[in-house]
Structure 1
Amino acid sequence: MPSVRQHDPGDALWLTDPNREPQRREGPLETHAGARRIAGGTARLVVLRCGSLRADQQRVADAA
């Protein structure tokens, strides 16, 4: 399944004290170092997985 690199500038909000505002920490914190995303997103994953099922095994509907 093709994937693409996850864009992540590395900025994060840190809450060290619940009585104070979070602190912004900028820069490459490597929080998601090497993270990847599925090309086409979650919908692509569902289409690929359903493709391996017989028609009577598939049940796809919109959540309402």
Structure 2
Amino acid sequence: KAKKSVDAAGLIRKLRNKGIYVQAGSHRGVAEEAPIAYKDVNLVVETVHLARLARKVARLRPVAVVKG
């Protein structure tokens, strides 16, 4: 879905404004990694924590993504 609904050039501009730099072989690759392509990680973690499947021990911040 994300590949069809995401304007890759616009997404690259938005990410760059946040200090996130993207280098991809194609705009399709950028669209596949768009934030709307993923569930909200905070909601997922909270659900798992409340269901007692796991417990929260740290908050991580991604610094890089390598795909390929």
Taking structure 2 as the reference length, the TM-score comes to 0.32
From the two aligned structures, give the one with the greater strand fraction: 1
> TM-score, normalised to structure 1's length?
0.33
* Relative contact order higher in (CA < 8 Å, ≥ 6 apart): 1
